[in-house]
C-alpha cells in the first residue's frame, strides 16, 4: 500500500514539475540570456540522443528476450567450436540479430554471459553494425551496386573476424568483461531454483521487460555522456579546419576516421552522410569512414568501457584502427575505385 | 538511496522519456532534431519506453523488480536529456552554429539520381540546397541566369562577401542534427547590412552567376526581402 502512495505522490510531483517547466520555458524564451553555443550544444546532444536511444532500447530489449528465451545449451549447440568458423559465424550473426552499434553492445554481453566464445562475440560486436540487412540496404541506396558497397561489407567482415581471432587467444569470455557488471547481470540466472528461462510465457516476457529497463539505465548513462562529449566537440572544434586538411592518400583517411569518431552517427544512416564527401575526398577515406565509424566512435567507446575491461577496449580500438588504416590507404594507393 | 526508492525513480524516468519522445513527435518540434524520415523510430522508441516504464511500475508495486545494483548516480545522468529536453526551449541550429560547421559549397548529395528531379522542378520552387546543387551539377551555370528564385532561410554574414551581400542559409539534416551541414545562396541587396544575422527571411528575385572561393556560385539579385517566422521544418532533408 505504501508503495502505491509513494508512486502516486511521485507521479503528482512529476506533473507539477512539468507544469513549472512549461512556465519556465516561456520565461526562458522571453530573453533568458544564455550563450548561443549552449543552445547549439543542447540541440545537437538531444538530436544524437533522440536518434540513438530507440536503437539502444531495442538492443536491451533483444538482450532481455535472449536472457529469458535462449539457454546456454542452445548457444553451445548452435555455434561452431572452431575459432575461425566461430568468428565468421559471429561476423554474419548480424543478419539474424539486426542491431546497430548501440544495440549490439548489451546483446553481445548477454551472449557472453550465456557462454558464447570470445572470437564469435567480438566478431559479432564489430561486424553487426554493418553486416545486417538494414545497413546493407541503406548503403545500397546511397552508393548503388558498386565497389563502395562490396568493399564496405568485405572490409568490415575481414576486420571483425581478424580482431575476433586475436581475442580467441583468450580462452574465456569472462576475462574480456568488466568483472562487476557480469555478477550483477547473472544475478537473475545464478538462482538455480528459478533459471531465467523458466516460467510461463507472460512471466518470461515481464522479466525480459524488467531486464531491458534496467539495462537501459546501465548503458544509457554512457550513451548520454558519449553524446554530450560529441556535441561539445562539435560545438567547439571547427569542422572546416578538419576538412581543409583532407587530401592525399594517407591524410584524407585519417581525417575521415577522425570525422567518423567526432560525428558519432548511427551506422544505419552514415552512408547518406558520407555522400557529401564523395568527390572532395578519396574513395579509400570514404571507405574508412564507413568501416571504422560503425566500430569505433565516442558513444560506442563509452559503452564498450562499461562492458569490457579497459585493456580489451584498448586492443579492440587499436587493432580496428590499424587494420582500417592499412586497408584503406592500400586501396587509395593501388586500386583506383 | 534505498533500493525501492531507486526503482521508483527509474520507473518515473522511463515513463518521462517515453512521454518526451511522444510529446516531441506530436508537437512537431521533433524536426528541430532529426530528419522526418525517422519519425517512426522515435514513436516506436517512445512506446517501448512507456512499456518498460509500466513493467517497472508493476514490478515496483509487487516488489518483484530485477536485482540490479547499478550505481545510484546513473539515475541522475539519465535525467540530463529529460532536463535539457523539457527545460531548454527548443531552438533549431542557427547561424551561430555555422561558425564551426562552415558553409558547404560542394553538395555531392544525391548523386546522379537527383539531377533528374532537379530538371522537373520549377525554378521558383527550388530551395537554397537545390540551387547550390544545380550550380554543382551544371556544366555551365550561366543557363540559370535570369531565372526567378524564391527561397526561405536565415541571414548569415560571411566575411568573404561584399558589403551589399549576405547569405541566406539553411541546414540540411540527413539523419540527426549531428550531421547537419549548412548551405546558402548569396543575396545581393543594397540594404544587406541592415539585416541582422539569424533573422529568417523570404527572398525573391532573379538568379545571377557569382563566385565564391573561385567557383561559380548562385546569387539572387533581390527583388524583395521579407522577414518571416521560423518555418515548422527549419531544416532541409536531402
B109 and B154 share one domain: yes
Cα separation, B4 vs B117, in Å, equals 58
- pLDDT at residue B113 in the model: 43
CB of B55 within 8 Å of any CB in chain A?
Answer: yes
Range from A10-19, A21-30, A124-133, B11-20 carrying the lowest mean pLDDT: A21-30
Pair (B40, B121) in one structural domain: no
In a domain, B233, yes or no: no
Contact B69 A269 (CB under 8 A): no
Helices within chain A (DSSP H only): 2-29, 36-69, 72-78, 83-92, 104-113, 118-127, 133-143, 147-168, 179-190, 201-236, 239-245, 251-263, 270-274, 283-295, 298-307, 310-334
Q: B215 and B190: one domain? A: yes
Tell me the average pLDDT of chain A. Answer: 80
Share of chain A above pLDDT 70, in %: 80
CATH number assigned to the domain comprising residue B207: 2.40.50
Q: What is the pLDDT of residue B111?
A: 43
Residues of A in contact with B92 (CB under 8 A): 43
In the structure grid, which three cell numbers stand for residue B214, read together? 573561385
Please, what sign has the CA dihedral across residues B113, B119, B122, B125?
A: positive
- At B205, which helix (H) or strand (E)? strand B200-212
Q: Which residue of A has its CA nearest to B89?
A: A25
pLDDT at B226 over 90: yes
**Range ranked top by mean pLDDT from A48-52, A154-158, B9-13:** A154-158
Which residues of chain A does B179 touch, with a Cβ-Cβ cutoff of 8 Å? Answer: 263, 265, 269, 273
**Of the residues B90, B105, B134, the one at which a domain ends:** B90
With bands split at pLDDT 50, 70 and 90, how would you rate the model's confidence at B224? very high
Task: Look at residue B206 and tell me if it is in a domain.
Answer: yes
B100 & B86 share domain: no
Q: Is B182 on the interface with A (CB under 8 A)?
A: no
* CA atoms of B227 and B201, how far apart (whole Å): 4
Is residue B221 within a helix (H) or strand (E), and if so which, with residue range?
strand B215-227
Residue B17 lies in a domain: yes
| pLDDT for residue A111 | 86
Residue A189 has pLDDT above 60, yes or no: no
Any CB–CB contact under 8 A between A41 and chain B?
Answer: no
CA proximity to B33, closest of A44, A224, A54, A52: A44
Residue in chain B nearest A269 by alpha carbon: B175
Are B65 and B130 members of one domain?
no
Q: Are residues B110 and B85 in the same domain?
A: no
Domain shared by B157 and B191, yes or no? yes
H or E element that contains B203? strand B200-212
- Nearest Cα of chain A lies from the Cα of B91 at a distance, in angstroms, of 7
B10, B71, B175, best to mutate vs chain A, most A CBs in 10 Å: B175
The per-residue pLDDT for range A80-136, each reduced to its tens digit, is 878 888 899 888 988 888 777 778 888 888 888 888 888 888 899 899 889 988 788
Q: How many domains does chain B fold into? A: 2
Predicted pLDDT of residue A192 = 41
Which residues constitute the domain of residue B174?
Answer: 96-227
* Same structural domain, B107 and B193: yes
Does the beta-carbon distance from A51 to B176 stay under 8 Å?
yes
Pair B133, B161 in one domain: yes
C-alpha cell at B114: 537527383
- State the smallest CA–CA distance between residue B96 and chain A in angstroms: 6
CB contacts of B12 in chain A (<8 Å) are: 10-11, 14
Among B4, B20, B53, B70, the residue to mutate for chain A (most A Cβ within 10 A) = B70
Range of weakest confidence among A191-200, B21-30, B138-147, B218-227: A191-200
B75 and B138, same domain (yes or no) = no
Contacts of A139-143 with C-beta under 8 Å, sequence gap 24+, read A139/A271, A139/A290, A141/A271, A141/A272, A142/A271, A142/A272, A142/A274, A142/A275, A143/A271, A143/A275
Answer whether residue A7 shows pLDDT above 50.
yes
pLDDT-derived band at B32 (thresholds 50, 70, 90) equals: very high
From B68, B90, B112, the end of a domain falls on B90
Which residues in chain A are closer than 8 Å to B24, comparing Cβ atoms? Answer: 50
**Is the distance from CB of A132 to CB of A103 less than 8 angstroms?**
no
Candidates B18, B66, B75, partner chain A, best to mutate (most A CBs within 10 A): B66
pLDDT of A243 above 80 = no
Chains A–B, number of C-beta pairs less than 8 Å apart: 220
**Of B53, B97, B108, Cβ closest to residue A275:** B108
Q: Is residue A159 scored above 50 in pLDDT?
A: yes
Enumerate the H helices of chain B as residue ranges. Answer: 3-27, 39-61, 74-87, 95-101, 111-120, 128-137
Task: Identify which of B66, B74, B96 has the shortest CB distance to residue A37.
Answer: B96
Chain A residues whose CB is inside 8 A of the B102 CB are 238-240, 243
Last residue within a domain, chosen from B55, B90, B125: B90
Task: Give Cβ neighbours of residue A212 (< 8 Å, ≥ 6 apart).
Answer: A57, A60, A61, A63, A64, B52
Chain B residue with CA closest to A23: the answer is B87
DSSP codes of every residue in A92-160: HGGGTS---TTTHHHHHHHHHHTT--HHHHHHHHHHTTTSSHHHHHHHHHHH-SSHHHHHHHHHHHHHH
Q: With an 8 Å Cβ cutoff, is B120 touching chain A?
A: no
Going by pLDDT thresholds of 50, 70 and 90, the confidence category of residue A25 is low
Does residue B67 have a pLDDT over 60?
no
Which member of B89, B178, B238 has the closest CB to residue A48? B178
Same domain for B79 and B105, yes or no, is: no
pLDDT of residue A187: 37
pTM metric for this prediction: 0.81
- A35-66: per-residue pLDDT in tens? 888 888 999 899 988 988 888 888 888 888 88
Alpha-carbon distance A336 to nearest alpha carbon in chain B (angstroms): 19
List chain A residues with CB under 8 Å of B60.
3, 7
Give yes or no for A145 touching B (CB within 8 A): no
3-class secondary-structure state, position B170? strand
For residues B201 and B153, give the distance between their C-alpha atoms in angstroms, rounded to a whole number: 6
Identify whether B30 is part of a domain. Answer: yes
Are residues B80 and B125 located together in one domain of the fold? no
- What SS3 state is found at B199? coil
Which grid coordinates belong to B194? 541592415
- pLDDT of A64 reads 87
One DSSP character per residue, B50-113 reads HHHHHHHHHHHHTT--------TTHHHHHHHHHHHHHHSPP----HHHHHHH-B-----TTHHH
- Say if the Cβ atoms of B87 and A21 lie within 8 Å: yes
Amino acid at each position: 500500500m505504501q508503495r502505491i502512495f509513494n508512486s502516486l505522490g511521485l507521479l503528482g510531483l512529476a506533473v507539477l514539475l512539468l507544469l513549472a517547466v512549461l512556465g519556465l520555458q516561456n520565461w526562458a524564451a522571453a530573453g533568458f540570456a544564455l550563450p548561443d553555443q549552449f543552445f547549439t550544444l543542447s540541440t545537437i546532444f538531444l538530436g544524437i540522443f533522440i536518434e540513438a536511444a530507440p536503437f539502444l532500447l531495442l538492443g536491451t530489449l533483444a538482450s532481455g528476450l535472449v536472457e529469458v528465451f535462449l539457454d546456454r545449451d542452445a548457444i553451445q549447440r548452435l555455434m561452431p567450436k572452431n575459432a575461425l568458423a566461430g568468428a565468421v559465424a559471429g561476423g554474419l550473426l548480424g543478419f539474424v540479430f539486426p542491431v546497430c552499434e548501440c544495440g549490439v553492445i548489451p546483446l553481445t554481453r548477454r551472449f557472453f554471459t550465456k557462454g558464447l566464445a570470445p572470437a564469435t562475440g567480438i566478431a559479432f560486436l564489430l561486424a553487426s553494425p554493418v553486416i545486417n540487412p538494414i545497413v546493407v540496404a541503406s548503403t545500397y541506396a546511397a552508393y548503388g551496386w558498386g565497389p563502395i558497397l562490396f568493399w564496405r561489407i568485405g572490409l568490415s567482415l575481414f576486420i571483425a573476424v581478424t580482431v575476433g581471432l586475436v581475442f580467441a587467444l583468450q580462452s574465456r569470455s569472462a576475462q574480456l568483461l568488466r568483472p562487476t557488471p557480469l555478477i550483477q547481470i547473472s544475478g537473475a540466472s545464478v538462482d538455480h531454483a528459478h533459471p531465467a528461462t523458466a516460467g510461463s510465457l507472460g512471466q518470461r516476457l515481464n522479466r525480459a521487460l524488467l531486464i531491458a529497463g534496467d539495462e537501459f539505465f546501465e548503458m544509457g548513462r554512457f550513451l548520454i555522456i558519449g553524446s554530450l562529449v560529441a556535441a561539445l566537440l562539435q560545438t567547439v572544434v571547427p569542422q572546416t579546419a578538419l576538412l581543409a586538411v583532407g587530401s592525399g592518400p594517407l591524410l584524407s583517411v585519417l581525417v575521415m576516421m577522425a570525422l567518423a569518431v567526432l560525428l558519432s552517427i548511427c551506422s544505419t544512416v552514415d552512408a547518406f552522410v558520407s555522400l557529401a564527401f564523395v568527390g572532395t575526398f578519396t574513395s579509400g577515406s570514404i571507405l574508412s569512414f564507413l568501416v571504422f565509424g560503425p566500430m569505433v566512435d565516442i558513444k560506442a567507446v563509452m559503452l564498450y568501457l562499461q562492458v569490457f575491461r579497459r585493456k580489451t577496449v584498448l586492443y579492440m580500438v587499436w587493432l580496428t584502427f590499424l587494420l582500417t588504416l592499412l586497408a584503406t590507404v592500400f586501396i587509395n594507393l593501388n586500386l583506383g575505385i | 538511496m534505498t533500493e525501492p526508492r531507486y526503482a521508483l525513480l527509474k520507473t518515473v524516468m522511463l515513463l518521462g522519456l517515453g512521454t518526451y519522445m511522444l510529446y516531441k513527435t506530436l508537437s512537431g518540434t521533433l524536426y528541430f532534431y532529426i530528419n522526418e524520415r525517422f519519425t517512426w523510430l522515435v514513436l516506436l522508441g517512445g512506446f517501448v519506453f512507456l512499456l518498460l516504464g509500466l513493467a517497472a511500475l508493476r514490478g515496483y508495486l509487487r516488489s518483484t523488480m530485477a536485482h540490479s545494483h547499478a550505481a545510484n548516480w546513473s539515475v541522475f545522468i539519465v535525467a540530463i536529456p529529460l532536463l535539457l529536453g523539457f527545460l531548454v526551449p527548443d531552438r533549431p541550429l542557427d547561424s551561430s552554429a555555422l561558425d564551426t560547421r562552415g558553409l558547404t559549397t560542394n553538395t555531392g548529395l544525391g548523386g546522379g539520381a537527383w539531377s533528374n528531379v532537379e530538371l522537373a522542378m520549377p525554378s521558383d520552387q527550388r530551395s537554397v540546397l537545390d540551387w547550390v546543387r544545380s550550380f554543382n551539377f551544371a556544366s555551365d551555370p550561366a543557363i540559370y541566369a535570369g531565372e526567378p528564385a524564391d527561397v526561405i532561410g536565415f541571414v548569415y554574414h560571411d566575411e568573404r562577401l561584399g558589403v551589399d551581400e549576405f547569405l541566406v542559409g539553411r541546414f540540411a539534416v540527413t539523419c540527426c542534427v549531428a550531421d547537419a551541414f549548412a548551405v546558402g545562396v548569396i543575396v545581393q541587396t543594397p540594404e544587406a547590412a541592415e539585416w541582422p544575422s539569424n533573422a529568417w527571411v523570404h527572398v525573391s528575385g532573379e538568379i545571377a552567376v557569382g563566385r565564391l572561393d573561385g567557383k561559380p556560385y548562385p546569387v539572387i539579385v533581390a527583388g524583395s526581402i521579407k522577414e518571416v517566422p521560423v518555418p515548422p521544418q527549419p531544416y532541409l532533408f536531402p
